[in-house]
Amino acid sequence: MGRPPEVFARPVTMAEGRRLQRIGRTARDPVRLRRAIVVLMSAQGQSAPDIAHLLDCTQEYVRGVIRAFNEKGFAALDPKWSGGRPRTISEQVRREICLPARCCPRDLGLAFSTWSLAKLAEYLASAGIARISRESIRQILHGAGIRHLAAKTWKASTDPQFIEKMHKVLDLYDHPPADGRVICADEFGPLNLQPRPGRAWRPAGHPARRRASYRRTGGVRHMIAALDLATGKITYRIRERKRWREYLALLKLLRARWPAGKLYVIADNFSPHKHPKVTTWAAEHNVELVFLPTYSSWLNWIESEFTALRYFALGGTDHRTHAWQGEMIDRYMRWRNARAQPKTNFAPNSVIRTWTGYQTNVA
């Protein structure tokens, strides 16, 4: 029997050659990569047996790739998957598997409240739905977009004037009044004396360790702070308590710092903010208290600054005294205020910008 005739790729242009080289360097699909290498080597004059030997494949495979490229061009490099073995579990059965997975087991008369794959497989078998492995169940649930997620808390605003109040706050953010200054005020804390979790670059497998803190006898402190949107700087005080007296003292400090013009102070509905002595003093000193809708502290711009403070100044620390902790917070705040920029564009692409109605309920 004679040797099969040699098969070579058709002559390729310089542009096609560069394209083949690029596919050979960057292709992530192993099939496309191998086919491009076969065509490129054949275009360079190497025979099918030599290519098969170098790539550890059959000569029939090499000749098939070359013939397909000569007929179809670069389309021959893309794999044509046939879809694999047909499914043995019908769509109807898959839907029946997903239904109990999304229910609480107690609602089905079982003695537990959380599924595991083993418990779900046992239930499906006893109910006559399907007898399949745990891995098959996992793949079916994954394909249906069902994940094993932890429960999270969520609370909607119960304020009947939510939309009006939200739009007023957003309007102050977007168009600060020319006759005054917009300030976001809130409390941060409690500031405990305890080792705090944090992140740091360390060798793999050697995380930093935190000491146990079963007894905390140092008490707590509270930060009462105000963010000036015009400058982006934060004014704050650390106090032992966060009563109306401490909040009023902060307002007096802000009024003394900016004696001219009106102050628009955005605050949540914490009871000391609405104390009669606070509201009376504010009315007498040209300070307008703008209260957020209930359960909507996320509208207060200072909350994001508190998140950064918690991450960069408190994360991974273990302060043993309030004086030490206060000094570290003060150093961070001085560093932050030295780099502060005016605050503009609050949540510019957020869906809240399109809200014209809101269903008030509690979850």
Q: For domain 162-198+218-354, which CATH number applies: 3.30.70.1350, 3.30.420.10, 3.40.720.10, 3.30.300.30?
A: 3.30.420.10
Q: Read off the DSSP letter of residue 228.
A: E
pLDDT above 50: residue 131: yes
Q: Mean pLDDT, to the nearest integer, of 41-56? A: 89
Work out the pLDDT band at 357, boundaries 50, 70, 90. Answer: confident
Residue 71 sits at φ, ψ, to 5 deg, of -90, -40
pLDDT above 90: residue 318: no
Work out the pLDDT band at 363, boundaries 50, 70, 90. Answer: very low
pLDDT above 50: residue 195: yes
C-alpha torsion 37→41→46→49, nearest 10: 0
pLDDT above 50: residue 362: no
Vertex 301: Cα angle to 295 and 307 (nearest 5) = 90
On the question of a cis peptide bond just before residue 105, with omega within 30 degrees of 0, the verdict is no
Q: What is the pLDDT of residues 225-284, one digit of tens each?
A: 999 999 999 999 999 999 999 999 999 999 999 999 999 999 999 999 999 999 999 999
Q: Where are the alpha helices (DSSP H) in 44-177?
A: 48-55, 59-72, 91-101, 117-126, 134-143, 162-174
pLDDT above 50: residue 3: yes
Q: What pLDDT does residue 1 have?
A: 47
pLDDT above 60: residue 2: no
Vertex 106: Cα angle to 104 and 107 (nearest 5) = 70
Q: What pLDDT does residue 359 have?
A: 62
Q: What pLDDT does residue 208 have?
A: 86
Q: What pLDDT does residue 142 have?
A: 93
pLDDT above 70: residue 311: yes
Q: How far is CA 305 from the centre of its chain?
A: 17
Q: Mean pLDDT, to the nearest integer, of 26-31? A: 87
